[in-house]
Chains A and B, each alone.
Chain A
Amino acid sequence: MNKFLTLLIVSFGMILVSACGDSRIHSHAVYMLVDTSGTYAQEMNKASKIVNYLLATLNPGDSLAVAKVETRSFTEKDIIAKVTFDKRPSQATSQKRRFKNNIEVFAKHVKGSAYTDITGGLIQGAEYLNETKAGIKTIVVFSDMQQELGKGTIRDFPIRLDGIRIVALNVTKLGTDNADPRRYLDRLAQWEASVRKAGATDWVVVNDLENNIESILATR
């Protein structure tokens, strides 16, 4: 009887220990890049709604960061807000409220940038996501996917996006795309090819934010 009890306690302890070491594998980390260049800065309201959706969907223990796409985006300074939600639901709710306020403040005072360095943002995002050690990693790019690099900005080298899903949101058509749709389609195809080559697990384009918003996050 004593032996059985000891065995039961030990096995239960082992389960608890293994449970503690397994927590991050089930968590979700999202890095959202918001394009603030040119006329796209006007889409900030939509970006806020996406952030709200992410806040409503992510669970305690998950991570979320929102960064802007600037002239050179490979910097932590471009991260508007980042948080890893507490394991306790009550604390996570408070953190979500604070995060929402930060984004609202940013949305009111957003300034357009001269150039659009999406690749830099992707590298920064991959770095952040890898640090979180989350099981599911997603980079959400809220942009028209038209990259414009400033003078002296070098991005023509292979990047690493291993195990990361890339979701392009609200990829609006430019004036030139309307004249020649192949430009739009080629742009998307190029991005898909480059992110898949970089090791991304998935490439998703969501333009219908009203009906397809659930596609942003992968099911656990």
Chain B
Amino acid sequence: MTTWNSWLFWPNSVALSVLALAVLAMLFLYAARKPMHGVIHSVCALLSQSTRFIARWLFLCADNLKLRNQSVLLAHGQENQVTVIEREFERVGNMVRKDMQEFPALQRRMMEEATRIEEDYRKCGEIPPPPPEWVSALQSVAKIKTGGDIPRKLLEDINKSIQKIHDQTVAEFRRSYEERHKILQAMQPSWRSLEKMAGEMDKKMLTLQTDAKQIDGHMGKLQDIKAKENKTEHALTVSGFVQLAISSLVMVIALGGAFINYKLIALPMSEMVGASDYITNSLKTSDVAALVIILMEASMGLFLLESLRITQLFPRIASMDDRMRQRLMYASLIFLVILAAIESSLALMRDILVADKVSLMRDLASAAPAGSDGLLTSIPMIGQMIMGFVLPFALAFVAIPLESAVYSMRTVLGVFLVQAMRGLGFLLRFTGLLLKRLPKVLELAYDVLIVIPLLIERWVIGMRAGSPGAGNTEDKEISKLRRAA
């Protein structure tokens, strides 16, 4: 209130003082009109150009980053594709090698079977029945012109002979067919064996064909990657997002396991490193020690999977010679087993400590000791010990989603960063555009504040315009003032 009063020329008449102040301010603003317009223009131009410059730089950076992301993404995709193709080729190669090894034996078996069938077939050849000689005899008898008993007798004899021969021939024919049937029956397993062999070959050929199609598909993808097609890049980016989501989910599950693990060993660790030591105000040393044990287990698991070449986070381990890698694998495995054993014993100790504490509490409360049920109390203890031993090994597998997350995180972060830079660039460009138009608005707003002096100025100029010697410049000034007014 005092401050306000100090601005008043006549504190008793506020309205008059305010009016006087307004007039003075108006006069000052009118006098400073041109320099103020200049300041508004300069500041806005400076800001506008700066924002436009930064926006351009951001867009440029975003483009560069996108190119870099693209090259990293494609390189990673190419590497993955090459690995997949190599593995496919290796698999197919193994299959072909195995099949080709079997092929001569198979061919020999098939040839043997074919020879056997051929022989059997030859044996099956039909024996033609003996020529019917009795037909010519019958013709000779028919040529005898004189009748009597001789032809009849001859015919009867012929009939008897024919009958006899016929019976013999039929019997022989039946026997022969029986033998052929037997041979044909014996051929059946050979046919089946051949059919089976042909089926096996067919199946193998079909598998090879499918594998070849798969390899074709992978090769197509590799070609697309090498050709740097947008579709492939998009697919790889989406794959990166999916990978990150899946691996994050698995890692969250693993984190739950690690938390259970931590709960199992935090209390017994206080028996080792002391329960009253603190690292910070709320962080106990025993808790940190338990956490360190869990992290060591995860690290050993990571080294184990690295040395088994399941993951490839450390190029140095991947490039080690096989002997050294094997040593590392055994060392990691031994450490992991030792840590699992330690954890199992800690779980046992936890159970003992908890039981001891419960017993003390009962003593302090002067309550009767609870009856112990051996089996029921043993089950949680055994369960804890088993969990303590198994969880480190389960935790070891977290290296696989971790690797996936690490690689896909690069892609995802890159995409987000590019989008963020573009968004910021757009915002700055828009701001620059606004700042470009702003001086005009500010100029007009400024002129509104000093509208009375401007009107007077216009009136004076108008008066002068009536007199000779007034130039075009003054006309322009008048029109400008009118616009402003």
- With A56-B361, A93-B356, A97-B360 as given contacts, are A23 and B271 in contact (CB-CB < 8 Å)? no
Report if A59 contacts B (CB, 8 A): yes
Q: Which of A60, A61, A87 has the most CB of B within 10 A?
A: A87
Given known A-B contacts A52-B364, A56-B364, A89 and B278 have beta carbons under 8 A apart:
no
Q: Kindly identify which residue among A26, A52, A89 contacts B357, using a CB–CB cutoff of 8 Å.
A: A89
- In the docked arrangement, what's the CA distance between A20 and B356, Å? 27
Determine whether B285 belongs to the interface, using a CB cutoff of 8 Å to chain A.
yes
Q: Give A12's nearest chain B residue, CB to CB.
A: B292
In the bound complex, CA of A89 to CA of B318 (Å): 45
Q: Tell me the chain B residues, 359-387 only, with Cβ under 8 Å from chain A.
A: 360-361, 363-366
Docked Cα-Cα span, A12 to B9, in Å, equals 72
Bound state CA distance, A92 and B365, in angstroms?
Answer: 17
Q: Nearest Cβ distance between residue B437 and chain A, in whole angstroms? A: 53
- B279 contacts A23, C-beta separation under 8 Å: no
A43 CA / B112 CA spacing, docked (Å): 110
Residue-by-residue, is B114-136 near A (CB-CB < 8 Å gives 1, otherwise 0)? 00000000000000000000000
- Are the C-beta atoms of B364 and A23 separated by less than 8 Å? no
Please give the distance in Å from A210's CB to the nearest CB on chain B: 14
Q: How many residues of A contact B (CB 8 A)?
A: 27
Interface: B485 (CB within 8 A): no
| B189 close to chain A: CB less than 8 A | no
Q: Is the CB of A89 within 8 A of B270?
A: yes
Query: A197 to chain B: closest CB distance in Å?
Result: 30
Q: In the assembly, what is the distance between CA of A87 and CA of B352, in Å?
A: 17
B267 at the binding interface (Cβ < 8 Å): yes
Among residues 333 to 371 in chain B, which have CB atoms less than 8 Å away from a CB atom of chain A? 352-353, 356-357, 360-361, 363-366
Given contacts A18-B279, A52-B365, contact A87 B360 (CB under 8 A): no
Query: Does B79 belong to the interface (CB within 8 Å)?
Result: no
For the A-B complex, the count of residue pairs with Cβ-Cβ distances under 8 Å equals 73
Q: Chain B: which residue is nearest A51 at the CB level?
A: B364
Asked if B360 and A23 make an inter-chain contact with CB atoms under 8 angstroms apart, the answer reads no
Q: B361 touching A19 by the CB < 8 A rule?
A: no
Q: Is the CB of A23 within 8 A of B277?
A: yes
Given A52-B365, A89-B353, A97-B360, the answer on whether A25 and B270 have CB atoms closer than 8 Å is no
Task: Answer whether residue A90 sits at the interface, using C-beta atoms and an 8 A cutoff.
Answer: yes
CA–CA, A56 and B288, complex, Å: 25
Q: Are A93 and B276 CB-contacts (below 8 A) given A52-B365, A60-B270, A100-B363?
A: no
CB contacts under 8 Å to B, within A1-41, are 15-16, 18-20, 22-23, 25-27
Given contacts A89-B271, A90-B356, A93-B360, A23 and B278 within 8 Å (CB-CB): yes
In the complex, whether B275 has a CB less than 8 A from a CB of chain A is yes
Say whether chain B's binding surface is mostly helix, strand, loop, or mixed.
Answer: helix
Q: Using known A-B contacts A52-B365, A96-B360, determine if residue A61 contacts B275 with beta carbons closer than 8 Å.
A: yes
Q: In the complex, A36 Cα to B311 Cα: how many Å? A: 73
Closest residue to B366 on the A side, CB-wise?
A: A52
* B285, B288, B365 pick with most chain A CB within 10 angstroms: B285
Are B277 and A87 in touch, CB under 8 angstroms?
yes
Taking the complex as formed, is B274 at the interface, i.e. its CB lies under 8 A from any CB of chain A?
A: yes
Q: How large is the interface on B (under 10, 10 to 19, 20 to 34, 35 or more residues)?
A: 20 to 34
Do B360 and A61 touch (CB < 8 A)? no
A88 sits at the interface (CB 8 A): yes
A61 CA to B79 CA in the complex, in Å?
Answer: 57
CB of B287 to closest CB in A, whole Å: 11
Would A60 and B279 count as touching, CB distance under 8 A?
no
* Inter-subunit contact A87/B276 (CB<8 Å): yes
Residue A122 at the chain B interface, CB threshold 8 Å: no
Indicate if A62 sits at the interface (CB-CB under 8 A): yes
Whether the pair B278, A19 counts as a contact (CB closer than 8 A) is yes
Task: Please state if A61 and B274 are interface contacts (CB–CB under 8 Å).
Answer: yes
Contacts of A22 in B (CB 8 A): 277-279
A55 within 8 A of B: yes
| Residue numbers in A under 8 Å from B274 (CB-CB) | 23, 60-61, 87-88
A interface footprint on B262-275 (CB within 8 Å = 1, 0 otherwise): 00000100110011
Residues of A contacting B360 in the complex (Cβ-Cβ under 8 angstroms): 55-56, 93, 96-97
Docked CA distance A97–B361 (Å): 10
Cross-chain contact B275 with A89 (CB below 8 angstroms): yes
A63 to chain B, nearest CB (A): 11
| B residues 267-308 in Cβ contact with A at 8 Å | 267, 270-271, 274-279, 281, 285, 288
State which of B353, B361, B365, B366 has its C-beta within 8 Å of the C-beta of A90.
Answer: B353
Give Cα distance in the complex from A87 to B276, angstroms: 6
Contact B279 A88 (CB under 8 A): no
Q: For residues 139 through 191 of chain B, which have their beta carbon under 8 Å from a beta carbon of chain A?
A: none
Q: Contacts A19-B285, A60-B270 hold; do A88 and B275 have CB atoms under 8 A apart?
A: yes
Q: Is the CB–CB distance between A90 and B276 below 8 Å?
A: no
Whether A60 contacts B276 by the Cβ 8 Å rule is yes
Within 8 A of B (CB), among A38-70: 52-53, 55-56, 59-62
Residues on A with C-beta less than 8 A from B278 are 19, 22-23, 25-26
Smallest beta-carbon distance A60→chain B, Å: 4
* Across-interface contacts of B270 in A (CB, < 8 A): 60, 87-89
**Closest A residue by C-beta to B281:** A26
User: Are B364 and A26 in contact (CB-based, < 8 A)?
Assistant: no
Q: Which residues of A contact B366 (CB under 8 A)?
A: 52
Point out the residues of chain B lying under 8 angstroms from A97, CB to CB: 360, 363
Please report A residues at the B interface, Cβ cutoff 8 Å: 15-16, 18-20, 22-23, 25-27, 52-53, 55-56, 59-62, 87-90, 92-93, 96-97, 100
Q: Which 8 A-B pairs have the closest CB atoms?
A: A61-B276, A87-B274, A60-B275, A52-B364, A19-B279, A23-B277, A26-B278, A19-B285
Q: List 6 A-B contacts (CB under 8 A).
A: A22-B277, A26-B276, A52-B365, A60-B276, A61-B277, A97-B363
